Structure 1
Amino acid sequence: MSDLFSAAGLDPAPPPGPEPASPGHRPLADRLRPQTLGEVAGQGHLVGPDGSLTRLLAGGTPGSLVFWGPPGTGKTTVARLMADRTSLDFVAVSAIFSGVADLKKLFDDARARRRAGRGTLLFVDEIHRFNRAQQDGFLPVMEDGTVTLIGATTENPSFELNGALLSRSRVLVFRALDAEALGDLLARAEALEGRALPLAADAREALLGMADGDGRAALNLAEDVWRAARPGETLDAARLVAVLQRRAPLYDKKQDGHYNLISALHKAVRGSDPDAALYYLARMLDAGEDRLFLARRVVRMASEDIGLADPQALVVANAAKDAFDFLGSPEGELAIAQAVVYLATAPKSNAVYTAYKAAMALAKQGGSVLPPKSILNAPTKVMKREGYGEHYRYDHDEPDAFSGQNYWPEAIGRQSLYRPTERGFERDLGKRMAWWAERRRERGDG
């Protein structure tokens, strides 16, 4: 694990080799690394005067912690500075490059320190990379105080870490740096360099967007700007993008970024906000999300959240999927966007979704009960003698083409599962069902 720190609380990047002797040749992120917790940018809720971590440290050794947050937010830096505050020996290891044998040696060394009267703060970067069995290996040394564990992860610890490990730790959430924190970081870099970034106002804003909440990335981009700009040149936003090339958005199509954004898209559609829905759709498209995954999710939204309040919703969603299949990218993406807007502006109902879940629960609970014999076919004489098909009433021969007979098993009785809302087309369905219910009462099947 590298000792290289980025400025204002950024995680270290692996060093390419021995550190240059001249400070002027050291990376900007290294030269701006925080020397105190108070210098860590963008994490005031943790290290500010009333921050969670500040309070924990005021009480002595804070206990084992899990740092959860995106890259470049200061997890490693804060861990090392904590060791300085608590007089613990700092040991760092990466789960990517470590195995069981490495952990065993670390634990043995920590036990030796403990016998000598020194504690160990063990920082494990990318702790979610360890499998369940390896994570369990930390439990004994955490319980007996051999190590104070600080695990850093970019993934949701609720999904990626053992419950036993989480129960012995406190999760602290590191936030992506906002525009103000990134701007302060650039100002510190300019002060250190003794020169302003050759950027127009729109280019400076674009650079902050490219950093995507990652302070180390912001400083690396700043260095690239100083290297690339010609003497006397001031870059506007378009020129900045051309010179630097655009940094990919922070988005892992199989992990938190994927699930967070698809959740946001789905809820924006459900909440009838077409603008927010389009924004999250664009975020996912821009990050390279599988277009057919998005199309499938839109089809699901049509059934789950619109249902029969607008029966056309499912038709539009399926048509969008077919249009993308036909046109491909990027032209077909507009059809998905059209479906998203249609669904977001459609009347909402989860009545079918709710009824389906209730029907499944009833089917599992009720078992293999026989439907009424009157509605069963009787292809054999034996079945006819048993009453199969007896007294069946053919609805098309009844007044209003409605017999009102019972279709429910006697062991269960009539149930009410689908309850249409008063929104959209379901308002008409509700009136129709109420009329049928009244006819049943009149004809003796209440």
Structure 2
Amino acid sequence: MADLFDTGPVATDTGPRPLADVLRPQTLAEVIGQDHVLGPEGPLGAMLASGHLSSLILWGPPGVGKTTIARLLADQTDLHFVQISAIFTGVPDLRKVFEAAKMRRANGKGTLLFVDEIHRFNKAQQDGFLPHMEDGTILLVGATTENPSFELNAAVLSRAQVMVLNRLELADLERLAQRSEKALDKPLPLDGPAREALLEMADGDGRALLNLIEQVAGWKTDAKLDTKTLGQRLMRRAAQYDKSGDAHYNLISALHKSVRGSDPDAALYWFARMLEGGEDPRFLARRITRMAVEDIGLADPQAQAICLQSWETYERLGSPEGELALSQAVAYLALAPKSNANYVAYKAARNAAKQTGSSLPPKHILNAPTSLMKDQGYGDGYDYDHDAEDGFSGQNYFPDDMKRPVYYQPVERGFERELKRRLDYFVKLRAKRNS
């Protein structure tokens, strides 16, 4: 995948040049929207100022300048620029690239190797870069839209610095639109709201905006067009969403935390974003049910039932009607009282079980179906709780050599307030019985 200001069709002296080619930055200072990386205080800016450039991984969404930055880095450091794509490059091609870089190095010229979509190389192919990075044959600049922590070898990451590039904000896109109007020598035929709508259609992608601007600039009209007309003539860019990639995990995290934070509007927004991106509603149904178990628990025992009912409703109705039932569960969970007390207690109990996994239960709570077991003391001294005062014996049910722990501590919210009252009651009775 090419990146922001990538040429596309090869420009010639006689043919028309794409707007992206015309506006390609000639210096790093002209790159829009990445000052946090390229500015004097940014990591890449400081690296260039020191005169030492290390291998880099440029991580960011499409159309934010990854290819452009790599080209300009080669210019600024006087390195020979070589660009390959992991989609179209095989092992034989890589060997040729490395051999050419070695010859160049022998002649006193370094090579900046730009690898687009580097995450598409498998682990073995990524390992192939290591010796050439270490001996200085190449300076690697990789570009990826996926989280490098998940997609790149630890060995590659240890030899390269990750630079995070941001999607372009509306202000950045407006600057790009103004540059376009200057290059075209005419304003875009849009009124204010339509111009803002055009920027929003690009969804943070500078290359997408330039493509949209080229279309709009080609319309023959004497009047400024409004938002309705713009929407009729242009299709909104599909939102960036990869059901198996980083956006998938980012959005489900946003949904979960919005529910946990008791914000139904935000929760419904992220829920809708995932559906619009093509997410499987069954995945959402599972995650919504998990939220009920993990973050609401016994503070509202009905929450889990509502999730399961909404899931069943979706299975019966299908899309799109069944998705409304899931949205109701999302809103309910966001407004339900929250407690992770049982979740915390469960994890603590699992941890204790791992540490004391060989400890036997106390004999008084073991059944004795044989005479031999009775002779061993199984069941001796067991107090049948239904016969005890208040239906509670207060006996110990932990291993004899284990100090009694406290795992479950209900909160003063929702139904758990009642459970806390019951728990406190039994704690007092147990203390009374044992005294």
State if a TM-score over 0.5 links the two structures.
Answer: yes
For the Cα contact (< 8 Å) 1:125–1:153, is it kept in 2?
yes
| More displaced stretch, 38-47 vs 323-332 | 323-332
Alignment deviations for residues 199-249 of structure 1 (CA, whole Å, 9 cap, x no partner): 23222222222211100001111222234x453354333332332223210
Distance of 2:377 and 2:190 partners within structure 1: 88
Alignment deviations for residues 300-334 of structure 1 (CA, whole Å, 9 cap, x no partner): 01111111112122122222212222222222222
| More displaced stretch, 175-184 vs 418-427 | 418-427
Q: 2:56: which partner in 1?
A: 65
* SS of structure 1 residue aligned to 2:380: coil
1:176 aligns with 2:170: no
Distance of 1:41 and 1:66 partners within structure 2: 19
Q: How many residues align?
A: 435
Distance of 2:176 and 2:263 partners within structure 1: 35
Q: 1:415: which partner in 2?
A: 405
Matching residue's letter, 1:28: L
* SS of structure 2 residue aligned to 1:332: helix
Q: 1:280: which partner in 2?
A: 270
For the Cα contact (< 8 Å) 2:295–2:339, is it kept in 1?
yes
CA 1:399–1:442 in 2, change beyond 3 Å: closer, same or farther? same
Q: 2:247: which partner in 1?
A: 257
Residue of structure 2 aligned with 1:142, choices 129, 133, 143: 133
Distance of 1:325 and 1:119 partners within structure 2: 60
Query: 1:265-414 counterparts in 2 under 5 A?
Result: 265-414=255-404
For the Cα contact (< 8 Å) 1:11–1:75, is it kept in 2?
no
Distance of 1:321 and 1:200 partners within structure 2: 45
Deviation for aligned residue 1:265: 0.9
For the Cα contact (< 8 Å) 2:5–2:24, is it kept in 1?
no
For the Cα contact (< 8 Å) 2:5–2:21, is it kept in 1?
no
Deviation for aligned residue 1:346: 1.8
TM-score normalised according to structure 2 size: 0.95
CA 1:156–1:11 in 2, change beyond 3 Å: closer, same or farther? farther
Distance of 1:263 and 1:348 partners within structure 2: 17
Matching residue's letter, 1:255: G
Deviation for aligned residue 1:115: 0.9
1:248 aligns with 2:238: yes
Matching residue's letter, 1:313: A
Q: Which runs of 5+ in 1 are unaligned?
A: none
Alignment deviations for residues 263-288 of structure 1 (CA, whole Å, 9 cap, x no partner): 11111111222222122112111111
CA 1:393–1:359 in 2, change beyond 3 Å: closer, same or farther? same
Query: 1:155-174 counterparts in 2 under 5 A?
Result: 155-174=146-165
Q: 1:12: which partner in 2?
A: 6
CA 1:38–1:402 in 2, change beyond 3 Å: closer, same or farther? same
Deviation for aligned residue 1:347: 1.8
* SS of structure 1 residue aligned to 2:190: coil
Q: 1:123: which partner in 2?
A: 114
For the Cα contact (< 8 Å) 1:210–1:249, is it kept in 2?
no
For the Cα contact (< 8 Å) 2:5–2:23, is it kept in 1?
no
Q: 1:437: which partner in 2?
A: 427
Q: Which segments of structure 1 move beyond 4 Å, counting only runs of 4 or more?
A: none
Q: Which runs of 5+ in 2 are unaligned?
A: none
Deviation for aligned residue 1:393: 2.2
RMSD: 1.9
Matching residue's letter, 2:49: A
Distance of 1:253 and 1:323 partners within structure 2: 23
Distance of 2:391 and 2:168 partners within structure 1: 66
Q: 2:191: which partner in 1?
A: 200
Distance of 2:146 and 2:5 partners within structure 1: 15
* SS of structure 2 residue aligned to 1:172: strand
* SS of structure 1 residue aligned to 2:279: coil
Alignment deviations for residues 136-159 of structure 1 (CA, whole Å, 9 cap, x no partner): 111111111111111111111111
Matching residue's letter, 1:299: T
For the Cα contact (< 8 Å) 1:65–1:169, is it kept in 2?
yes
Alignment deviations for residues 178-203 of structure 1 (CA, whole Å, 9 cap, x no partner): 00111111111122112222223222
Matching residue's letter, 1:191: K
TM-score normalised according to structure 1 size: 0.93
1:111 aligns with 2:68: no
CA 1:205–1:189 in 2, change beyond 3 Å: closer, same or farther? same
Residue of structure 1 aligned with 2:203, choices 212, 217, 220: 212
Distance of 1:86 and 1:14 partners within structure 2: 25
For the Cα contact (< 8 Å) 2:188–2:216, is it kept in 1?
yes
Distance of 1:235 and 1:129 partners within structure 2: 42
* SS of structure 1 residue aligned to 2:411: coil
Q: 2:182: which partner in 1?
A: 191
Deviation for aligned residue 1:13: 6.2
CA 1:368–1:50 in 2, change beyond 3 Å: closer, same or farther? closer
Distance of 2:187 and 2:390 partners within structure 1: 83
* SS of structure 1 residue aligned to 2:321: coil
Distance of 2:145 and 2:212 partners within structure 1: 22
| More displaced stretch, 178-187 vs 48-57 | 48-57
Q: 1:74: which partner in 2?
A: 65
Deviation for aligned residue 1:14: 4.8
Distance of 1:210 and 1:270 partners within structure 2: 31
Distance of 2:49 and 2:359 partners within structure 1: 66
Q: Report the identity percentage.
A: 60
Q: 1:235: which partner in 2?
A: 225
